């Protein structure tokens, strides 16, 4: 599968390196507004560098997949452009800056008969995959309460676009979206959202979000762009035990059963060896789905629902009131 990558920033570099490990994919071109970035990344990967999307389309030849790794506010424009030139499009999360743009993207790809894949990579982290398996297998009994945390320093992007809320959607859309998607994949649809966000200082942000799922599970999410060093954690408590994962710990993943001795450390699930990075796993999965026609682990509609939760959380931050997801859908027609 011949792949053209649009965007040579941080995520573009991660995707480019990942394609070099996927036997069924060949990265043939990298396009970026910054010619220097495109050339530097192209030299590392053996691809051809282009200074614009249009130049790439003119000179790269026929491609099977176009991978969009651009800032969020550019996703709609370039995914719709990509759908004119390739049968499959991969887009980094979030799919779009708003629900309206996300729906336009999905509809445009459907109309043209093109397949759309969205990079919600947490579903491909081996530790998070294992937690979902343990919960589904009933290892904690009936889950009731979930706690997650995610974050670190304020991200740096070209022209400091993360600091522009209209472009990035801030902490709730860009960062907590990971956990919105993952938890929905584990526990189903969200019924109610309540959130509070604090701008601690310039380019520092902190948020708490509470999700109530339709099955009764309650999740408490913490997101931060105000701490040094990135880390993520999740704890799932059920009536028969607790699963606890914290990336900052040397042995991050534990399963403690209800009947474990209080003085013991519980039953430890070994840390994943990570022979392949989650990004490699994600992109290899997408390429496999493109070749076979299989449905991906994360669909475009899943990506839309994650934005819906983020939109509700931001509305709750703005109004100080909880938001009912069903009512929000009805209001949008």
Domain count, the chain: 2
Domain holding 62: CATH number?
3.40.50.720
Domain that holds residue 63: 2-119
Please tell me whether residues 59 and 208 are part of one structural domain: no
Strands 267-268, 143-151: pairing is: unpaired
Question: In terms of pLDDT, which residue wins out, 158 or 119?
Answer: 119
Q: pTM (2 decimals)?
A: 0.92
User: How far is 294 from 23, CA to CA, in rounded Å?
Assistant: 18
User: How far is 168 from 279, CA to CA, in rounded Å?
Assistant: 21
Please tell me whether residues 77 and 139 are part of one structural domain: no
User: How far is 284 from 266, CA to CA, in rounded Å?
Assistant: 35
Please tell me whether residues 66 and 111 are part of one structural domain: yes
Domain holding 158: CATH number?
3.30.360.10
DSSP line for 247-291 = TTSSS-EEEEETTS-TTS--EEPPPP--SS-HHHHHHHHHHHHHH
Query: Of 165, 144, 116, whose CA–CA distance to 298 is shortest?
Result: 116
- 50: helix, coil or strand? strand
Please count the other Cβ atoms lying within 10 Å of the Cβ belonging to residue 270: 8
Question: Per-residue pLDDT tens for 60-91?
Answer: 889 999 999 999 999 999 999 999 999 999 99
Question: Per-residue pLDDT tens for 275-306?
Answer: 679 999 999 999 999 999 999 999 999 999 99
């Amino acid at each position: 599968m011949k792949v053209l990558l649009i965007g040579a920033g941080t995520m573009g570099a991660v995707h480019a390196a990942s394609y070099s490990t996927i036997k069924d994919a060949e990265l043939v071109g990298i396009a970026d507004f910054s010619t220097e970035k495109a050339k530097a990344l192209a030299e590392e990967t053996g691809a051809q560098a282009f200074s614009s999307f249009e130049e790439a389309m003119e000179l790269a030849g026929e491609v099977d997949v176009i991978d969009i790794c651009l800032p969020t506010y550019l996703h709609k424009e370039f995914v719709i452009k990509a759908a004119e030139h390739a049968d499959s499009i991969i887009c980094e999360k979030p799919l779009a800056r708003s629900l309206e743009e996300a729906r336009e993207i999905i509809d445009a790809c459907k109309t043209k008969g093109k397949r759309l894949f969205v990079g919600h990579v947490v579903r491909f982290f081996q530790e998070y995959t294992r937690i979902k398996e343990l919960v589904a297998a009933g290892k904690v009994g009936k889950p009731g309460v979930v706690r997650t945390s995610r974050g670190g320093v304020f991200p740096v992007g070209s022209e400091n676009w993360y600091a522009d809320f209209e472009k990035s959607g801030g902490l709730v859309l860009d960062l907590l979206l990971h956990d919105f998607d993952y938890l929905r994949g584990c526990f189903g649809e969200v019924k109610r959202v309540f959130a509070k966000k604090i701008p601690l200082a310039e380019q520092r942000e902190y948020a708490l979000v509470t999700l109530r799922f339709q099955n009764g599970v309650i999740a408490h999410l913490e997101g931060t762009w105000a701490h040094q060093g990135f880390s993520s954690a999740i704890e799932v408590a059920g009536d028969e035990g607790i699963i606890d994962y914290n990336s900052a710990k040397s042995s991050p993943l534990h399963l403690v059963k209800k009947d474990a001795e209080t003085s013991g450390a519980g039953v430890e699930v070994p840390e994943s060896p990570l022979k392949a990075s989650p990004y490699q796993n994600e992109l290899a999965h997408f390429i496999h789905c493109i070749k076979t026609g299989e449905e991906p682990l994360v669909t475009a509609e899943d990506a839309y629902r994650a934005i819906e939760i983020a939109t509700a959380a931001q509305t709750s931050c703005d109004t100080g009131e909880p938001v009912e997801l069903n009512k929000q859908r009805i209001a949008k027609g």
